[in-house]
Amino acid sequence: MKDLFVSVSGGRTSAYMALKVRDLWPERKMHFVFANTGQEMEQTLEFVHRLDEQYGLGIVWLEAVVCAGRVGTKHKVVDFKTAARMGEPFIDVCRKYGIPNQNYLHCTRELKQQPIKSYVRSLGYKRHGYEMAIGIRGDERRRINFGEAAKHNAVYPLVDLDVDKAEVNGFWEDAPFNLELKEHQGNCKWCYKKSDRKHSMLYTEMPDIYKFPRMIEDTCANGDGRKIFRGRRNTDEYISFIRVLDAGSQPERKDESSGCSESCEAFI
C-alpha cells in the first residue's frame, strides 16, 4: 500500500476525512498537509490548529514560494503563528501569473497544488509513488474529474465510504470543537467561485474583505482585461451587482455552480 498524503483544506469534510483515514489504516504511513493561501478566514486557521492539537495528526502547514522566471512554485513550512494572514502568498502569485478568475485558476494551482507537490518531492517521493487523499464526500462525487485524479494520484476515501454531509456535520456537532463559520462563508474569504447570493451575504457581513481583490486588480493587472468575479466584473462592478441582490431587487436564481462548499481542494 502506497504512503498517503492527506490534504486538509480547513473545512469540516477534509478534517473528518483525516480522522477517518487515520483510524481506518493505522498501519499506513500518512502525511497530513494544509496549504495556506494567506486569505483564509481566521476561523479556518484556528480550526486546523485545534484539529492538530486535539488529535495529534502532525499537520504540516505549507505556503507558496513563487520563483522568478520559468522556475515553478516551491514551498515553505510555516505554522499557526507564522502563517500569512495578509495575503502575501496570494499577492506573489498574482504578480507573476496575473489576476485569477474562473477561467484562470492559478490561485488553486499555485497556492494549493504546487506547494503540496513541492513538499512531496522534498521528502523524496516520485511522481506515482504515493496517493493524495482529497476531502470530497459521497454526495459530492459529481465534482470529481477522475481522469485528472488519476494523473495526480488522488483518492477519495469519503466517496468510497459513501459519507454524506449529514454524517460529517453530525460528527462535528458532537465534537469538543467545531469550525466557527457559517455555511456561506467558506474558508477563502472572498473566493470568486462562491455564488452571487453567498457574496451578497458576505458583503453585508464583512464588506472589508473585498479590499483585497480590489488591491489585486490595482497592482497585478497586466493589460489583458482580466476581471476577477462572475459576469466579467471587477470588484467594484461586482459589489454594485450583489448589493442589488441584497436589496431584493434581483430575483433569486438557482446556484448551479457555487464550487466552493469548503475551499479549493487540491487535485480534484
pTM exceeds cut of 0.85: yes
Say how far apart CA 69 and CA 260 lie, in whole Å: 31
Flag whether pLDDT at 177 surpasses 50: yes
Sequence-separated (6 or more) residues with CB below 8 Å from residue 134: 7, 14, 149, 154, 155, 156, 265, 266, 267, 268
Arithmetic mean of pLDDT, 70-83: 97
Return the CATH number of 3-174, one of 2.40.420.20, 3.40.50.620, 3.90.950.10, 2.60.40.60.
3.40.50.620
CA-closest candidate to residue 181, choices 193, 195, 198, 166: 198
Q: How is the chain split into domains, by residue range?
A: 3-174
Query: What would the mean pLDDT of 256-265 be, rounded to a whole number?
Result: 46
Confidence at residue 262, expressed as pLDDT on a 0 to 100 scale: 43
How much is the average pLDDT of 87-95? 97
Q: Is the pLDDT of residue 178 over 60?
A: yes
188 burial type by CB count under 10 A (0-12 exposed, 13-18 middle, 19+ buried): buried
User: What type of residue sits at position 176?
Assistant: P
